[in-house]
Structure 1
């Protein structure tokens, strides 16, 4: 965006940065790039992009006559590709660290290890299986693009909240960099945007919102107890857990 006001150009750059941080979608070169914390408000919009891809793949698969379970597998795979599996990687690392470390320092060390352990493999496998099962149940007969976009947007709203209210467990890292100087206004803007998207895209709102908040809060509380703060892996695990909780709420409706 070369035209427009300085305000609109800044927001456009922040949106592109959010997409670069949370997805693998091409956004072009950001020069100069805004501070990482400035992109927090746009996390739900990055979720919309990912969720729309998930819903579109499901819709196309169903239009081709594929069974809902097969369509759900393809849709989940598309979502994982769109994000580079960064949230799932966070969940797996968190499970390995919290399950295998004897103290906070050791837990953080394990979480930095790129190798996948037993706890991580089990957590990742169960999360993917549950997501496939829920999508195959909820999306048929719905508007899959809108519904998946709304779920993905809402599941990313807790991330700036966690970064605002919890200390960083490390002095370095992407999570710490993104949390630096994150303001209350950015957090409220993120939450308000996610709620607005949810109102438009989801058949009902209260239960999914509560489910997302409870799922993310559970991961945050466990992380505070285990490592006294958050990391990028904690944020990834919180997003996956929040998303699964939203799909569960929609399935139970």
Structure 2
């Protein structure tokens, strides 16, 4: 009996620990309220990277649910735009801000120091505006076309969002595993996260991210994974060349671009099937 009690106590303790890590990830990447009893420390936040893709799944369900509600009373184009706006509110445009900052820094700086300094600047420059506008417009058009393909079953669109949200966050977080963290500037978004990522955390990250892949064909999933792997190799090489590694802004940018790649592959696969 005592042994069973100890086992149950261990399970309860470990469950509370993992739930705390999930809430840390949720509070870091979204504006969604979390329990006030949540415990924070830089090391715990670093361990919370295992749940980044799970946060993506939650956001996809929320944003997809909003889309399903609006599509009942509004045209698809408006319902989608409102759903995307709701997503920006839920996340505080966290990743989009990273994309704009990275574009400004690497596009406008001539040295590593200049690039990192520009990334830290809260003001948005020409490179950031052009890049962010382009990727937001592309994402809207891709999702609009995908939503039309799946108009008969709105839940299929939620699954598409789930794959895009979760897998793109997993890929972005995977840069922590084997890429140097380079910015020592105050205000960096990734500083608490950047010290390390274990193989176990990386495995959990991708296992969760690939759950929505069960609803897609083998060829769709393999094409997405191959293109994302190639993108990761090229991006990592480019970042090391430009700034010596990654910053939090680079993780946000990686998430945004990866998400678009996923939607491009899915839409191309549907188009090819039609022909």
TM-score (structure 1 length as normaliser): 0.91
Cα distance between partner residues in 1 of 2:77 and 2:223: 25
Larger radius of gyration: 2
Cα distance between partner residues in 2 of 1:30 and 1:124: 36
8 Å CA contact retained: 2:181, 2:195: no
Is 1:25 aligned to residue 32 of structure 2? yes
Cα distance between partner residues in 1 of 2:147 and 2:27: 28
Cα distance between partner residues in 2 of 1:212 and 1:198: 16
8 Å CA contact retained: 1:25, 1:82: yes
The 5-angstrom pairing of residues 39-78 of structure 1 reads: 39-66=48-75, 68-78=76-86
Query: C-alpha offsets along residues 132-165 of structure 1, whole Å, 9 cap, x if unaligned?
Result: 0011000232522222122211111113320110
**Which has the larger displacement, 120-129 or 206-215?**
206-215
> Which of 96, 99, 104 matches 1:91?
99
Aligned twin of 1:181 = 196
> Which of 171, 175, 179 matches 2:184?
171
Query: C-alpha offsets along residues 17-46 of structure 1, whole Å, 9 cap, x if unaligned?
Result: 111111111112254225111111111110
Cα distance between partner residues in 2 of 1:102 and 1:13: 42
Is 1:227 aligned to residue 243 of structure 2? yes
Is 1:149 aligned to residue 149 of structure 2? no
> Which of 180, 188, 206 matches 1:191?
206
Aligned twin of 1:205 = 221
Cα distance between partner residues in 1 of 2:147 and 2:95: 22
Is 1:111 aligned to residue 119 of structure 2? yes
Query: C-alpha offsets along residues 95-141 of structure 1, whole Å, 9 cap, x if unaligned?
Result: 00011101000000000000010000000000100010011000232
8 Å CA contact retained: 1:208, 1:246: yes
- The runs of 5 or more residues in structure 1 that have no matched partner are none
8 Å CA contact retained: 2:173, 2:251: no
Cα distance between partner residues in 1 of 2:79 and 2:38: 39
**Which has the larger displacement, 241-250 or 136-145?**
136-145
8 Å CA contact retained: 1:212, 1:245: yes
Q: SS at 1:26's partner residue?
A: coil
Shift of 1:61: 2.4
Aligned twin of 2:6 = none
8 Å CA contact retained: 2:24, 2:38: no
